[in-house]
Amino acid sequence: MKLRKCPNCKNYTLKEICPYCNQKTISPHPPKYSPQDKFGKFRREAIKELESKNQS
């Protein structure tokens, strides 16, 4: 069991579905850090691409 957060009402719960608003909950924990980030290059390229699309 892990702590989960409702993105809609911002309440924390242990359930997959929020008991207050019946929305699907998400994990509030950040992804695991690794100094040997295999996909960092691709993630940075995707972020740059999104930023350039938003500025256009």
20-48 pLDDT, tens digit each? 999 999 999 987 878 888 888 898 999 99
* Main-chain dihedrals φ then ψ at residue 53, nearest 5 degrees: -70, -40
Statement: the pTM of the whole predicted model exceeds 0.85:
no
Residue 1 has pLDDT above 80, yes or no: no
Distance separating alpha carbons of residues 18 and 5, to the nearest angstrom: 8
Distance separating alpha carbons of residues 1 and 20, to the nearest angstrom: 19
- Give the 3-state secondary structure of residue 22: coil
